[in-house]
Amino acid sequence: MKKYIIIAIGVCVIWAIGMTYRTMFPPKADFLLLEQGQIVGDFSFETIDGDAYALSDFNGHRVAVHFWASWCPPCIVEFPHMIEYARNHPDIRIIAVSSDRTRDAMDRFFSRLDMKMPSNMMMVHDQNNHITQTLFSVFQLPETFMLSKDGVLDNHIKGPALLWTGN
């Protein structure tokens, strides 16, 4: 009996160490099998303004991870609606990940757009498609992943997201 207790405690200790380790060093995200209802793994990114974030920084907020590029007409038609949506929903965090080849192309689009970005939108230039293709398996644009406050994938929208316009 004593033996089992020791084994049980041992398992608990190992589990606790494991959990602590996992919390301290989260596993590298691999989203190739991302499905609705799954918790989306953590990943870090840098905005075009040079601010570094991780997805986990936005725990407690709804998050939209949006994939777009300035060369993609449906994306740029959708973009102003997304900005408007972010402005009207200050609780949401939108990570807008661009597959543009150059920063110049992004900037040219922004200057043409001529809209002030709300602070809850983060612009990311994913030049080598690490987030877009490796982590999220996005090979067509636009696509949007809607995450709940707990980081669970609620909705995966391929093509323009009608939710921005309330449809």
Q: Does 37 interact with other proteins (rule: CB under 8 A)?
A: no
Count of positions (residues) in the chain: 167
Contact track, other proteins, 38-77, x by CB under 8 A: -------------------------------xxxxxxxxx
Quote the least distance from Cβ 24 to other proteins, whole Å.
Answer: 27
Shortest Cβ 78–other proteins spacing (Å): 11
125 near other proteins, judged by CB under 8 A: no
In the bound state with other proteins, the residue whose beta carbon lies nearer, of 93 and 132, is: 132
Pairwise CA distance, residues 124 & 54, whole Å: 12
Q: Angle at which helices 73-88 and 103-113 pack, to 10 degrees?
A: 60
* Total Cβ atoms within 10 A of residue 101: 14
Query: Per the structure block, which two tokens stand in for 117?
Result: 């970005």
> Which of 40, 45, 142, 147 contacts other proteins by CB under 8 A?
142
Secondary structure of residue 88 in the 3-state scheme: helix
Residue with tokens 């922004």: 110
Alpha-carbon Rg for the chain, nearest whole angstrom, is 19
Asked if 151 interacts with other proteins (CB under 8 A), we say no
Residues at the interface with other proteins (CB under 8 A): 32-33, 69-77, 99, 111-112, 137, 139-143, 158-160
